[in-house]
Homo-oligomer: A and B are copies of this chain.
Amino acid sequence: MPSAAAANPASPPAVQAAMSLARESRLLASSASILGWDQETMMPSGGLEHRARQLAQLARLEHGMATDPRLGDALSAAEAEVASLPETHPDRVNVRECRRDYDKATKLPADLVEELASVASIAQHEWAEARKASDFARFRPWLERIVELNRRKADCFGWDRADGERWDALADSFEPGCTAKHVSGVFGPLRERLVPLIEAVRTAPRRPDGRFNDHPMDIDAQERFGRFVCGALGFDFARGRLDRSTHPFCGGSHCNDVRMTSRYSERCLLDGLGSSMHETGHGMYEQGLDPAWISTPMGEAVSLSIHESQSRLWENQVGRGMPFCTWAKAQMGRHFGTAADGFTAAQVYEAANMVEPGFIRVDADEATYNLHVMVRFELERAMISGALEAKDLPGEWNRLYKEYLGLTVPDDRRGCLQDVHWSGGMIGYFPTYTLGTLYAAQFFETAREAIPGLEEGFARGEFRALRDWLNANIHRQGRRWLSDDLCRQVTGKTLGADAFLRHLEGKLRPMYGI
């Protein structure tokens, strides 16, 4: 007897039956998600070992539910029932997407899933040690195993042997329908214009004022200010939280219980504020999903790139804009007393938009960030295709950092050992960061045309029109469209780099006098 939410009473009976089963694994995953959040925010250190057992048990139970043959049968019955409905009808979408999930889950043999989990668990530990010591040799055998297991995984999923490549099958888990060819097609033109833009910035006649990025502000006041800003943007604290963790994330259970975290830096308010606004974009996407479709695909996010478009949009298009900086600066007195009195909104704006090539992706600015992502995409693509061996990773990494960012990587700790993703077994994930950045720019251009006086409103602390627009056009669509179809639906165009480059150049040219 399923205990998940009652099926939608308007759905036909076989769809209801299938959704009742499909909801079970999602409900269990939502409990595991709270335990995951708890582990990062609340759990005492003594709880770690037992928590690993709790999460392993829940993952095992969840996998059993997601691959239950009764679910497969129920979906077959439901498919017959929805065949005559329009393709974007919620019932048809739910059945189609549950079938996608079910087929993916059942294609992986249990022993491969287990081996990946166990190798990733050791690899993460080895990676952490290797990073500390900047010792790639220590991590290399684990990377080799992860690449090999991911190649097997891709072959289980299957991929287009005529026109595609193995990497596509891996990316599909994060970004349904994504191919390396498509990503290259978007990233190539972006890089062609981004590299000279960054070069122009580097040799620019004017230096913006970055002093606000090195100015002490009380940490607790920063946290309160962050909550105030997130609330003003539209995050609903009756249906979510914002806490602290080492690495900011957005988790939680479902649209009515969204758990975001942020972190704060003593000498850079904008670090923590940017993190908080970023997570708020994720959080408002989650809160904006349709509660009527909770625990079904129509109540779920499309993909990682669309999720990232929401976080980037609030972090970059809104948070790094002059109107927002004007409003935010005016609010600081209430939260920080006189601590920010020596700065103008223009100085806050300039500090928020400094461009400075660096080694570390998570510290990168809005412009160079995408070059970090491109390096990772090319390298993981090559490792999965077999064109690059793990042993040659550091050399290739360093060569690309020189070529794209003009930097000489000093050691692997600040080079190919910096990210957790590969050690965690995740290949095909990185490009979603930049795809999301591009979607954000394209969505925002459309919103600005659709909503008169949008940015003037930001300067007065009015963000509701944008949130409502995103809610109607993106959040409430659930998984009705794949990423690029949604993009065409919303913006009238397929994804490209133009909107992002316009956004970037529009800011950087005057700021740097180029």
Within 8 A of B (CB), among A29-56: 30-31, 34-35, 38, 42-47, 49-51, 53-54, 56
Binds B, one of A238-246, A353-361, A374-382: A238-246
Cα distance A3–B58 in the bound complex, in angstroms? 9
Q: A68 CB to closest chain B CB, in angstroms?
A: 13
Binds B, one of A249-257, A338-346, A491-499: A249-257
Cα distance A34–B53 in the bound complex, in angstroms? 14
Q: Is A60 an interface residue (CB 8 A)?
A: yes
Checking B34, B57, B111, B237 against A38 with a beta-carbon cut-off of 8 angstroms, the contacting residue is: B34
Contact at A27–B44, with CB atoms within 8 Å?
A: no
Q: How many residues of A contact B (CB 8 A)?
A: 43
Contact at B45–A31, with CB atoms within 8 Å?
A: no
Which residues of the partner chain B approach A240 to less than 8 Å between Cβ atoms? Answer: 44, 46
Which residues of the partner chain B approach A110 to less than 8 Å between Cβ atoms? Answer: 1
Contact at B257–A51, with CB atoms within 8 Å?
A: yes
Which residues of the partner chain B approach A60 to less than 8 Å between Cβ atoms? Answer: 1, 3
Interchain residue pairs A-B with the least CB separation, the first 3: A47-B257, A46-B239, A46-B256
Contact at B257–A50, with CB atoms within 8 Å?
A: yes
Q: A412 CB to closest chain B CB, in angstroms?
A: 27
Checking B4, B43, B54 against A27 with a beta-carbon cut-off of 8 angstroms, the contacting residue is: B54
Q: A291 CB to closest chain B CB, in angstroms?
A: 9
Within 8 A of B (CB), among A4-22: 4-5
Q: Is A294 an interface residue (CB 8 A)?
A: yes
Which residues of the partner chain B approach A28 to less than 8 Å between Cβ atoms? Answer: 57, 61
Contact at B253–A50, with CB atoms within 8 Å?
A: yes
* Copies of chain A in the complex: 2
Checking B24, B44, B58, B254 against A241 with a beta-carbon cut-off of 8 angstroms, the contacting residue is: B44
Within 8 A of B (CB), among A114-128: 114, 118
Within 8 A of B (CB), among A304-352: none
Cα distance A27–B496 in the bound complex, in angstroms? 48
Cα distance A61–B27 in the bound complex, in angstroms? 12
Q: Is A445 an interface residue (CB 8 A)?
A: no
Cα distance A371–B110 in the bound complex, in angstroms? 55
Q: A55 CB to closest chain B CB, in angstroms?
A: 8
Q: A66 CB to closest chain B CB, in angstroms?
A: 14
Q: Which chain B residue has the least Cβ–Cβ distance from A236?
A: B46
Cα distance A240–B238 in the bound complex, in angstroms? 27
Contact at B35–A50, with CB atoms within 8 Å?
A: no
Cα distance A253–B61 in the bound complex, in angstroms? 19
Cα distance A49–B110 in the bound complex, in angstroms? 30
Q: List 10 A-B contacts (CB under 8 A).
A: A1-B110, A3-B118, A27-B53, A30-B54, A31-B31, A31-B54, A44-B256, A45-B238, A46-B239, A47-B256
Contact at B35–A31, with CB atoms within 8 Å?
A: yes
Which residues of the partner chain B approach A57 to less than 8 Å between Cβ atoms? Answer: 3-4, 24, 27-28, 31
Contact at A253–B3, with CB atoms within 8 Å?
A: no
Which residues of the partner chain B approach A111 to less than 8 Å between Cβ atoms? Answer: 1
Q: A349 CB to closest chain B CB, in angstroms?
A: 33
Which residues of the partner chain B approach A45 to less than 8 Å between Cβ atoms? Answer: 238-239
Which residues of the partner chain B approach A3 to less than 8 Å between Cβ atoms? Answer: 53, 56-57, 60, 114, 118
Q: Which chain B residue has the least Cβ–Cβ distance from A57?
A: B3
Q: A446 CB to closest chain B CB, in angstroms?
A: 30
Cα distance A34–B257 in the bound complex, in angstroms? 15
Q: Which chain B residue has the least Cβ–Cβ distance from A48?
A: B256
Contact at A54–B24, with CB atoms within 8 Å?
A: no
Q: A352 CB to closest chain B CB, in angstroms?
A: 30
13 further A-B contacts with Cβ under 8 Å, apart from A3-B56, A31-B57, A46-B239, are A3-B60, A4-B53, A4-B57, A24-B57, A27-B53, A31-B31, A44-B238, A44-B257, A45-B239, A46-B236, A47-B239, A47-B257, A50-B257
Q: A109 CB to closest chain B CB, in angstroms?
A: 11
Cα distance A350–B24 in the bound complex, in angstroms? 56
Q: Would A50 and B294 be within 8 Å (CB), given that A31-B31, A45-B238, A240-B44 are in contact?
A: yes
